Amino acid sequence: MMPQSHMCDKEVYCKQTPGAFYLRDVNLLLPTLLKQYAGNIQLIYLDPPFQTGDTFYIKLNGDTIKRPAYEDTLDRQEYLCFMRRVLTGCHALLHDEGAIYLHIDFRMVAHLRLLLDEIFGEKQFCNEIIWAYRSGGRSKAHFSRKHDTILFYRKTAKGYFDIKSVGSQRGAARRNHMRRSVDANGNVSYTIRTNGKVYAYPAHSLIYPSDVWADIPHLHQRNPERIGYATQKPAALLERIILASSRPGDTVMDLFSGSGTTAAVANKFGRRFIAADCSPYALFALRHRLTHAPEGDQKITLHFQDGIRVLPFGHPTMPACLHNAQKSAPLLYCTAGRLEGAAFFPQRDIVLPQSPSSTVLPQGADALHVMDAEGQQFIWRNTP
């Protein structure tokens, strides 16, 4: 029988590109990241708390399960000290060709731009990107606030940027301010006269985004992309950032992983990723995405903060844990897999027809990993 002190400290998936997730507070994690990755990160995207004073929730199973995902309750001075530590660490983590995108709103954008100017240097400022959207209510006390701001800085003047990777074809649709013409071969082009010169643009030529992004909609409540995590950002937003400021094989980092969009998009486009969050629901969100991502032969490792105790099937605590999971805190995540040392390798998600003490595990699996709606995790191993 396995000793009760045995701990599992990571979960390993095989996917398209390598990656790592750390279930840990960013302040505690930064020394570890700096030791391993200083000067090697190509792109950092940060979507930190906005200093709203609110608590944000995760909603699951058709909104029947609602739990606090994270609290955004630091006062202004604490918040700015926290962000100074994070941004200073990010500067040290970035490669000389690297860049940072800081996603924020009206509350702290002025303060954080000054911090970025101080840490990265005013000359490394590239863009104040406006992400404009139409969701939400309307104000009568002032003009409705319908945009977020994304501050884009490079680390040095050598920063990598490829606008062509995010261009879209001009297309053959009419444009009121340009003259449309078709040549003998049926090729469509548009011309405009400026200062006595005529400029021609073929329909197949690319149009590049400006610093106002009004073409990427906010995720509405019924959008199939939604996974129930509050403040989830659309994949299209991260696609534009990742494609423009990194290359396949580069490493992309997100220290406020939340719904896992950055990691999922990075994996989709062949980038390595490093993600972190202190919320167990961020871990659940990324697991959900990895479960539905194509398989591969590269290792993605989810690191647990304090480790998960491994107990044998039939251990006295097991029925009590499952009773809680089935009643007050329903199961969110339940997967069979195998344990190799301190690592758990998921095999497939399963639905429990009865208590795991009598569950027949799939062939090749020797353990069951469970997470309930309170964020508690348990691993039971089927020992001979």
Helix (H) or strand (E) holding 46: strand 41-46
Q: Is residue 267 part of a domain?
A: yes
- Using DSSP's 3-state secondary structure scheme, residue 78 falls into helix
* Torsion angle (degrees, nearest 10) of CA 102, 108, 111, 114: 20
**239 and 372 within one domain:** no
Q: Give pLDDT tens digits for 290-299.
A: 888 888 889 9
pLDDT of residue 283: 93
Structure tokens at 18: 């390598």
CA angle 244, 35, 121 (to 5 degrees): 50
Residues 150 and 110 in one domain: yes
Domain tally for the chain?
3
Contact of 60 with 43, CB cutoff 8 Å: no
Interval 209-264: pLDDT, tens: 999 999 999 988 788 888 888 889 999 999 999 999 999 999 999 999 999 999 99
What's the CATH code of the domain at 71? Answer: 3.40.50.150
> Which pLDDT does position 176 carry in this prediction?
60
Q: Does 239 reside within a domain?
A: yes
Claim to verify: residue 73 and residue 219 sit in the same structural domain: yes
Residue 300 lies in a domain: no
Last residue of a domain, one of 146, 177, 207: 207
Q: At which of 268, 292, 316 does a domain end? A: 292
The answer on 250 and 132 residing in a single domain is: yes
261 and 325 fall within a common domain: no
Task: Say yes or no: 323 and 360 in one domain.
Answer: yes
d(CA 54, CA 112): 19
Q: Indicate if 132 and 226 belong to the same structural domain.
A: yes
Residue 115 and residue 241 in one domain: yes
Q: Do 246 and 317 belong together in one domain?
A: no
Residues 60-113: tens digit of each pLDDT: 766 667 888 888 899 999 999 999 999 999 999 999 999 999 999 999 999 999
Kindly list the distances between the CA atom of residue 151 and the CA atoms of 116, 125, 163, 174, 250, in Å, as whole numbers in the listed order.
9, 8, 17, 34, 21
**Residues 24/305, Cβ–Cβ less than 8 Å:** yes
User: Is 111 contained in some domain?
Assistant: yes
Check residue 323 and give its pLDDT: 59
* Widest Cα–Cα separation across the chain: 87
Kindly state whether residues 199 and 214 are assigned to the same domain: no
Domain that holds residue 175: 168-207
**Closest by CA position to 356, among listed 337, 381, 377, 376:** 381
d(C-alpha 242, C-alpha 269), whole Å? 9
Q: Do 203 and 182 fall into the same domain?
A: yes
125, 271: one domain: yes
| pTM for the whole structure | 0.90
pLDDT of residue 355: 47
